[in-house]
């Protein structure tokens, strides 16, 4: 069982993989490869959250994942114009494998899953922050949203790790309402604070 959990954890937390030609269709191949990976990560999260929101796991988990899924849908609408500009699509095959691995992991060891996901997401956020220097100026406002939505995920998952799914849901909902503004104006301010926990 430990070996199975280790495999599922590794798959669920594995970073996205850029497509083979991701670096060949842009004047900034580093950013293109980075965004290709992010597109696949978002597709993975969207597919996984869709599964989780339909599970009755108690403690308001389904409601939290429903809000998480809604945010991913809003994020998709923000990402789509940039993806089209760069002629990129997520690696849906890899996203499918990772989302089903995450679903199996969550089913077998729900508490360990949330902790593993939170840690992997926090690590990925730091990777995104460190890559800020390769982002083209014209995409700087867009990339601020990329960082903001990842930061909210880290904070919400920290609350979920504490079984505080109500506040985690409220945090995601608050950010989602703000994110809707980004679909028409990327310069709109978009942030949210945890309702009650200092994280």
Residue written as token pair 């993975």: 44
Neighbour tally for 160: CB within 10 Å:
26
Neighbour tally for 106: CB within 10 Å:
24
Residue 79 belongs to a domain:
yes
DSSP at 193: -
Q: Is 129 exposed, middle or buried (0-12, 13-18, 19+ CB in 10 A)?
A: exposed
In this predicted structure, what is the pLDDT of residue 56? 78
Residue 194 belongs to a domain:
no
Residue 103 belongs to a domain:
yes
Q: Global pTM?
A: 0.83
Residue 192 belongs to a domain:
no
Query: Do 102 and 109 contact (CB within 8 A), yes or no?
Result: no
CATH number of the domain at 72, please: 1.20.1260
CA-angle at 158, arms to 154 and 162, nearest 5°: 165
Query: Quick one: the chain helix, strand, coil %, rounded to 5?
Result: 75, 0, 25
φ and ψ at 59, to 5 degrees? Answer: 60, 15
Q: How many domains does the chain have?
A: 1
Residue 195 belongs to a domain:
no
Q: Is 54 exposed, middle or buried (0-12, 13-18, 19+ CB in 10 A)?
A: exposed
- Tell me, rounded to whole angstroms, the distance of Cα 92 from its chain centroid: 15
Residue 199 belongs to a domain:
no
Instruction: Count Cα neighbours of 181 within 13 Å in the Cβ-side half-sphere.
Output: 10
Per-residue confidence in pLDDT tens, the chain, 199 aa: 444 444 445 555 555 544 444 444 456 899 999 999 999 999 999 999 999 999 877 889 999 999 999 999 999 999 999 999 999 999 999 999 999 999 999 999 988 999 999 999 999 999 999 999 999 999 999 999 999 999 999 999 999 999 999 999 999 999 999 899 888 888 777 666 555 544 4
Residue 188 belongs to a domain:
no
Residue 105 belongs to a domain:
yes
Domain that holds residue 57: 2-182
């Amino acid at each position: 069982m430990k070996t199975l959990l280790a495999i599922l954890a590794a798959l669920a937390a594995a970073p996205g993989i850029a497509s083979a030609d991701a670096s060949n269709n842009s004047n900034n191949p580093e950013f293109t490869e980075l965004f290709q990976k992010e597109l696949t990560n978002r597709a993975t999260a969207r597919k996984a959250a869709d599964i989780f929101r339909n599970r009755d796991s108690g403690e308001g988990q389904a409601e939290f994942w429903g809000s998480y899924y809604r945010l991913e849908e809003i994020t998709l609408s923000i990402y789509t114009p940039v993806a089209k500009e760069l002629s990129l699509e997520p690696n849906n095959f890899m996203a499918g494998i990772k989302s089903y691995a995450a679903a199996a992991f969550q089913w077998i060891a729900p508490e360990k899953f949330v902790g593993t996901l939170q840690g992997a997401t926090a690590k990925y956020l730091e990777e995104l922050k460190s890559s800020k220097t390769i982002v083209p100026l014209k995409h700087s406002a867009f990339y601020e949203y990329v960082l903001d939505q990842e930061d909210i995920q880290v904070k919400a998952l920290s609350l979920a790790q504490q079984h505080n799914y109500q506040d985690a849901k409220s945090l995601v909902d608050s950010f989602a309402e703000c994110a809707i503004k980004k679909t028409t104006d990327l310069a709109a301010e978009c942030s949210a604070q945890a309702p009650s926990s200092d994280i």
